[in-house]
């Protein structure tokens, strides 16, 4: 799983790849905008708190914040919705999106360490 950890105030950003599933259990079944302790990722991240902002599931379907079911749903999306970019004016399309609950590859936000 890849974690993109960023601290917008300073512009610091780090991409971490974690292969150990035991370290990632703290992030499973969490909703977006949830703050999670980063202690499970290793000693160098002890004491940090990360905020889940966006992500994708294992198959690459994006998370949408206002979908409150477990699993994927098919939504009619248009301009202004997250998870969709129209190619023409007025275009709408049915897209599969993942709910904000469940197993996801999530981008983390709110950390300030740099390596």
**Residue 48 covered by a domain:** yes
Q: Is 2 left (phi over 0), alpha (psi -120 to 50) or beta?
A: beta
Q: Provide the residue range defining the domain that includes 55.
A: 2-109
**Residue 115 covered by a domain:** no
CA angle, residues 111, 81, 9, in degrees to nearest 5? 20
E runs forming strands in 1-115: 2-7, 12-17, 35-37, 49-56, 72-77, 93-98, 105-109
Q: What are the beta bridge partners of residue 37?
A: 49
The pTM (predicted TM-score) of the whole model is 0.61
**Residue 36 covered by a domain:** yes
**Residue 114 covered by a domain:** no
**Residue 8 covered by a domain:** yes
Compute the average pLDDT of residues 98-114: 50
**pLDDT for 101:** 63
Mean pLDDT for the chain overall: 78
Q: How many CB atoms lie within 10 A of CB 99?
A: 21
d(CA 68, CA 29): 12
Q: Is the pLDDT of residue 5 over 80?
A: yes
**Residue 65 covered by a domain:** yes
d(CA 32, CA 111): 16
**Residue 33 covered by a domain:** yes
**pLDDT for 109:** 44
**Residue 61 covered by a domain:** yes
**Number of structural domains the chain divides into:** 1
């Amino acid at each position: 799983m890849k974690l993109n950890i960023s601290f917008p105030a300073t512009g610091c950003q780090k991409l971490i790849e974690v292969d150990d599933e035991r370290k990632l259990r703290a992030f499973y079944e969490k909703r977006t905008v949830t703050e999670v302790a980063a202690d499970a990722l290793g000693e160098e991240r002890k004491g940090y708190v990360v905020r889940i902002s966006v992500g994708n599931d294992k198959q690459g379907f994006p998370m949408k914040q206002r979908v409150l079911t477990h699993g994927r749903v098919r939504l009619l999306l248009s301009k202004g919705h997250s998870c969709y970019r129209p190619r023409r004016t007025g275009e709408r399309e049915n897209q599969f999106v993942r709910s904000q609950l469940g197993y996801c590859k999530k981008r983390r936000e709110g950390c300030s360490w740099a390596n």
